[in-house]
Chain A
């Protein structure tokens, strides 16, 4: 039994023109059995920063709760929200603390930094950051996602086109993965608004 494939997940984040999109599947399973079809894998840290956590669901929940703890204290002390780059460093540090007994999660971080510049990154379960200019993927469907994103991605897409691209990449990739799917959850974030949309795909 592979621990990273116990619950099943698919996550992707993509950069557009002054905006970003972060999307996930909605399945929560226990190996071959599907338990929930409305599982939230992406959480908001603040209005311009989103975190998606793939991998073992219990570790994803605990890690998220710990990050909220740290971010809340940061907000109270510094009287401002955390920048995405700073948050990514925090996540990396927290994951590395557990170097010899890690959280079985792969996070995807997406946010708008200074001057509304989109920032995305992913890291492995012990905090090795991977900054990308175009897209990042995570989860059991990551190999399909890499292929789909690589072929569908274009630079400087507007929010509407970005939404279409991310949705098509996500749905086509999870269709090839039995452990993820049951629809999609897409957030498209611009400096002025956050658009949250649910996708209906193959419900299997």
Chain B
């Protein structure tokens, strides 16, 4: 029955669903997962790198985490080429705001502005929606640390802990059980790594398969976005007892 209502983005089905948007979310369900956690003094983002091969040219750029502005970063799940377009749009929007108002763009306004762009692709133009979900982590002077999740429909909401990508249902329920409101930055990193290690379906967990980034305030009071280096990440994995050694060839 859905055949007649699912090949155009701009029409509803008789049950009131937008099939193309739902299909986009399906595409994301197959992508590498990402988890975000809000703590008292930082926002933590952890991502699973799906593409690991010895042949990959190593570079310092990240695959899952991107800086949008000095005070906002995001983790992506889904089609990377779609994500690149949206990240660029978000960066330009943040700079336009700063140009006009000479202050950093509030996090929610940035998320909303990007979601407005995404929504446009579900209502007019005849173009397909973006196959990306985002976790936005940021700090502004009005609301402090914030975490937002947005999906292809252009909906967004603020979260204390959220997961996107593969096995996000399992990750979300684990987070619901273990998350406490007054969690500290180190506890948040530990919880994020623990949950991700349980929901990832790879047999060995090493720092090559993960990315960890944090948005926090430096002692001088400015916001900083920092990606954890592979060496520090390995140490953290060992410290929290989350590393599983690579299975020996039997």
Contact = CB atoms under 8 A, between A and B. Distances in A.
A197 interface: no
B99 A66 contact: yes
B60, B67, B95: residue with the most chain A Cβ atoms closer than 10 Å: B95
B99 A69 contact: yes
Interface string B51-68: 000000000110000011
Contacts of B92: 73
A138 B98 CA distance: 28
A203 interface: no
B60 A72 contact: no
B99 A65 contact: yes
Contacts of B60: 79
A32 interface: no
Interface in B51-91: 60-61, 67-69, 88, 91
Interface residues of A, number: 9
Interface in A34-81: 65-66, 68-69, 72-73, 76-77, 79
Interface residues of B, number: 13
Nearest to B100: A65
Contacts of B2: none
Contacts of B91: 73, 76-77
Given A76-B67, A76-B91, A69 B98 contact: yes
A73 B95 contact: yes
A69 B98 CA distance: 8
Given A68-B99, A76-B68, A76-B69, 10 more contacts: A65-B102, A69-B96, A69-B98, A69-B99, A72-B69, A72-B95, A73-B91, A73-B95, A77-B88, A79-B60
7 contacts: A66-B99, A69-B95, A69-B98, A69-B99, A73-B92, A76-B68, A76-B69
B73 to A, nearest CB: 11
Interface string A70-114: 001100110100000000000000000000000000000000000
